[in-house]
């Protein structure tokens, strides 16, 4: 009987230990001094201070510094695209007259490793071959983490304004039709999906 009780207690201890060591950690953010701090998502003030100093840009052989992407003399439009929405946000300047600099982010941090390395880069180069504005290849998720963005729904895109002083405002969350990347999307559907952005730019 004593052995049975000891076995039960041991089993409970193992389960509690596994739960403790595998539970998700609180959201952490690295400040500009390199120190980790736990933060509540609602209290985060978005800023270029938390943005990676250098990023990979589709079509560029070398890393690009953030001060090459964001100007201190004008606002910059920043849009993060997930799976399907990446095929839509790249056509924003094709359909609308954008007066400010425009930077895109391809959020592929949740994709399997071999897909990130072998399939996605080629697809993104194909998507952006006729696009002048840069698209950041965020394979490790450092950019979206700096924006406190944890939504990876394939059809969603997220619009930000980067101000001259480095502050970042989240102004709109949009969506596109499911399957846009694999099966395509018409110009009219693209315009409809992107048109709300212009309300924040005019």
DSSP strands (E only) in 14-119: 28-30, 36-38, 54-55, 64-65, 76-81, 102-107
Say if 27 falls within a structural domain: no
Say if 3 falls within a structural domain: no
Both tokens of 132, joined, read 């002048």
Say if 29 falls within a structural domain: no
Say if 129 falls within a structural domain: yes
pLDDT, tens digit, 9 for 90 and up, residues 15-63: 333 233 323 333 344 433 443 333 334 457 899 999 999 999 998 889 9
Say if 15 falls within a structural domain: no
Tally the domains of the chain.
1
For the segment 70-90, the average pLDDT, to the nearest whole number, is: 90
CA-CA-CA-CA torsion for 39, 42, 48, 53, nearest 10 degrees?
Answer: 40
Say if 151 falls within a structural domain: yes
The whole-number pLDDT of residue 30 equals 42
Q: What is the extent of the structural domain holding 62?
A: 44-200
Both tokens of 171, joined, read 């102004």
Q: With 50 as the cut, is the pLDDT of residue 71 above it?
A: yes
* Count of other CB atoms within 10 angstroms of residue 107: 27
Say if 48 falls within a structural domain: yes
Contact yes or no for 90/181 (Cβ under 8 A): no
Say if 20 falls within a structural domain: no
pTM of the model: 0.73
**CATH number for position 155:** 3.40.30.10
């Amino acid at each position: 009987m004593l052995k049975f009780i000891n076995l039960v207690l041991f089993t409970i201890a193992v389960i509690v230990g596994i739960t403790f060591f595998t539970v998700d950690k609180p959201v952490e953010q690295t400040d500009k001094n390199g120190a980790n701090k736990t933060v509540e998502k609602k209290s985060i003030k978005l800023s270029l201070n938390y943005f990676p100093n250098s990023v990979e840009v589709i079509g560029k052989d070398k890393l690009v510094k953030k001060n090459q992407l964001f100007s201190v003399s004008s606002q910059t439009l920043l849009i993060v695209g997930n799976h399907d929405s990446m095929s839509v946000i790249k056509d924003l300047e094709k359909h609308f007259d954008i007066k400010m600099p425009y930077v895109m982010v391809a959020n592929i941090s949740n994709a399997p490793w071999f897909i990130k390395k072998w399939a996605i880069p080629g697809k993104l180069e194909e998507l952006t071959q006729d696009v002048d504005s840069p698209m950041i290849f965020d394979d490790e998720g450092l950019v979206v983490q700096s924006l406190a963005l944890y939504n990876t729904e394939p059809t969603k895109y997220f619009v930000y304004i980067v101000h001259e002083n480095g502050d970042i405002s989240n102004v709109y969350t949009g969506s596109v039709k499911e399957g846009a990347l694999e099966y395509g999307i018409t110009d009219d559907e693209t315009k409809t999906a992107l048109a709300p952005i212009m309300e924040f730019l005019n």
